[in-house]
């Protein structure tokens, strides 16, 4: 992945590709992500095809700012704001009731959406350039390890991706913790970058683990 243009140029190119319905791999604070414009159904279909991901599995979205929760969620409960204040930007994904803005192609027809604010300037700059949240699924073939370098992305996905931004090794190297706050009782769906203990300490309430 050497001899690439400067990161700023790669980000500009990524935004253009995404606006044209392409897909882009990029580094985050956890693992490399595979992005598309969520409003473009053909791009979403390409994500599923490239990852060999089954269509009953929804795709998460990345946001540039915590305030963007109001765009993608119909309801943002107090605990979601509390968790966002403690852990975002960072390695915590929140599952919320989706707003009408979120296309059903992203949610696999479900009524919830998984969202995160990455603590990394590259995806944040892409989102701001695109003007909408960015699909933020891991840049791997489903079931295979999530890549933490651009070379690892290329090994799995090759030239099926329109652009792989080489931003070096991801600092976290472990996927985000996923927490469902769409129901009455918050539940951890996947433990990852943020531990259950940290979450309990931050919100001081009973947390289920699914």
pLDDT at 203: 82
What are the backbone dihedrals phi and psi of residue 61, each rounded to the nearest 5 degrees, phi first?
Answer: -120, 145
pLDDT at 62: 98
pLDDT at 100: 97
Closest residue by Cα to residue 136 from 193, 167, 192, 91? 91
170: tokens are 């991801």
Q: Give the mean model confidence (pLDDT) for residues 11-25.
A: 98
Domains along the chain? 7-209 (3.90.870.10)
Give the mean pLDDT of the chain.
95
Tens of pLDDT along 189-208?
999 999 999 999 988 766 77
pLDDT of 210 over the 90 cut = no
Q: What distance lies between CA 156 and its chain's CA centroid?
A: 18
pLDDT at 74: 98
Tens of pLDDT along 50-63?
999 999 999 999 99
pTM, entire model: 0.94
How many angstroms separate the Cα of 164 from the Cα of each of 7, 22, 83? 11, 12, 31
pLDDT-derived band at 5 (thresholds 50, 70, 90) equals confident
Q: Is 92 helix (H, G, I), strand (E, B) or coil?
A: strand
pLDDT at 42: 97
Tens of pLDDT along 28-87?
999 999 999 999 999 999 999 999 999 999 999 999 999 999 999 999 999 999 999 999
Residues in the chain: 210
């Amino acid at each position: 992945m050497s001899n690439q243009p400067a990161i700023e140029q790669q980000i500009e190119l990524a935004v253009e590709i995404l606006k044209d319905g392409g897909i882009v791999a990029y580094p985050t604070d956890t693992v490399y992500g595979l992005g598309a414009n969520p409003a473009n159904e053909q791009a979403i279909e390409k994500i599923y095809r490239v990852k060999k991901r089954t269509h009953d599995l929804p795709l998460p979205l990345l946001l540039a700012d915590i305030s963007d929760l109001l765009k993608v969620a119909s309801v943002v409960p107090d605990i979601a704001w509390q968790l966002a204040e403690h852990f975002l930007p960072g390695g915590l994904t929140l599952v919320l009731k989706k707003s009408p803005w979120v296309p059903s192609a992203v949610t696999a027809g479900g009524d919830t959406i998984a969202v995160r604010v990455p603590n990394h300037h590259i995806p944040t700059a892409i989102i701001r350039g695109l003007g909408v949240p960015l699909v933020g699924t891991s840049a791997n073939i489903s079931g295979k390890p999530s890549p933490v370098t651009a070379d690892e992305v290329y090994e799995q996905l090759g030239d099926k991706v329109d652009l792989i931004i080489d931003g070096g090794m991801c600092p976290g190297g472990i996927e985000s913790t996923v927490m469902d706050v769409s129901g009455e009782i918050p539940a951890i769906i996947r433990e990852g970058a943020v531990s259950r203990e940290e979450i309990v300490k931050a919100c001081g309430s009973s947390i289920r683990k699914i």
